[in-house]
Structure 1
């Protein structure tokens, strides 16, 4: 070290900042655990341990498993809160495809295998969290202390669809935008349940087609049908979960 230099002053984090970091770490560890073990099967002690804390840290930040799951739902719903969320946007295709083996910019064979495995792991996590969400819904719907919290999270999805419906509202439409939004949310959740049930043709492409037909049926009827092999899902999307896996696996 240069004898004329001085060490950088250590920045002390506030109590609120430390608590936020703890909550974030527990939330991300819980997402992984719920996706892997299900809502009922996940252990708060194991979640705390995966995040590097004792079980007491969970109860210092959350009221219990249900409140922790609600925090994970909030994390998954973040993308819906911004005005730039577009439920009609298609997955990248054509010229945006990744370079293939032998093409300039293509990854080496080992890197390709790792990327495919990472995508498969992320897709499995998305599916696992969807199943855990179904478990939570059936539990919360029977619990008077949780039903309002569950309704509030569902409203986030409806509000996002209402913004999308209002932006694409065709002339002469007399069905209120909030009613259209509820129909869109119902289609979204129904497609998700079908996909989780193993219906191979239920995916993002079919959902986008259905959403467009709900919002503007006259114009959407002239569009080509969706590709039946496009079965990607969202909330949270696979790319986002891949980044999460990468971030949480680093020391």
Structure 2
């Protein structure tokens, strides 16, 4: 996995808030790299600080511990500005070793699967910590709320379940589906995920209608998004 470079330093004087934001971005990119390669348990704050180009004290100045940093990484991945931030910090030689489409696919798959595995590790830690468990549960609940507009679009008027109940079922389905995909279970692919989500959203319609788009498995679509980003960056 390619190490992320440290944040670039501009010549003009920066405010405290700008410096803090720049430091956080560099730490988040470095943490994403280390967590995806090493997993949650093996990742160290020393390694993250080293890649980011800061002391470990910079991490503690922004995050109280490794768990707080990992939660911040999870939020960062959902940030609309995530791709732009990554692009701004990509060195011109970052992807020079990716010669073929297979190389790009392998890189993207490794990054997404790595952070997925680290997330599973983190869940086992959070479940045993009441404070972390509440925060992770709230984060997942917030993600469920995002799915509700899709549910409202596809659900049957005769479904006795509420929009939120259907959204929770879809979230549980995706979580389990991701675990099966990480395990390498055969025949686990995006199309099957779409079928399952469609049947949860509207069982009657799903039996007779084309599979609705826009409800793909996040882990798999993230691989495609990263591939597209790298190809665009390399001009392919």
Which whole-Å deviations, capped at 9, do the CAs of 1:87-146 have from their partners, x for residues lacking one? xxxxxxxxxxxxxxxxxxxxxxx9984332122111011111111101000000100121
- Of 161, 169, 172 in structure 1, the residue corresponding to residue 147 of structure 2 is 161
Q: Give unmatched runs, 5+ long, in structure 1.
A: 1-9, 80-109, 226-230, 247-251
Q: Which has the larger radius of gyration?
A: 1
Q: Which has the higher helix share?
A: 2
Q: Do residues 71 (structure 1) and 68 (structure 2) align?
A: no
1:45 aligns to what? 46
Answer whether contact 1:180 1:214 (CA < 8 A) is retained: yes
TM-score (structure 1 length as normaliser): 0.73
Aligned to 1:192: 178
Deviation of 1:184 after TM superposition, in Å, equals 0.2
- Report the alpha carbon displacement of residue 37 of structure 1 after superposing the two structures with TM: 0.2
Q: CA RMSD in A?
A: 2.7
Partner of 1:237: 222
Question: What does 1:101-140 align with in structure 2 at a 5 Å threshold?
Answer: 113-140=99-126
Deviations along 1:183-230, one digit per CA (max 9) or x if unpaired, are: 0000000100111112021222211111111111112112578xxxxx
* Structure 2: runs of 5 or more not aligned: 1-10, 81-95, 232-236
Q: Is the 8 A contact 2:154 2:201 kept in 1?
A: yes
Instruction: Report the alpha carbon displacement of residue 170 of structure 1 after superposing the two structures with TM.
Output: 2.3
User: Where does residue 89 of structure 2 map in the other structure?
Assistant: none
Matched, 1:171 2:171: no
Mark the CA change 1:185 to 1:67 in structure 2 (over 3 Å): closer, same or farther.
same
> Normalising by the residue count of structure 2, what TM-score does the alignment of the two structures yield?
0.77
In structure 2, the CA distance between the partners of 1:232 and 1:217, relative to structure 1 (3 Å rule), is closer
User: Does structure 1 conserve the Cα–Cα contact (< 8 Å) formed by 2:37 and 2:111?
Assistant: yes
Count matched residues. Answer: 203
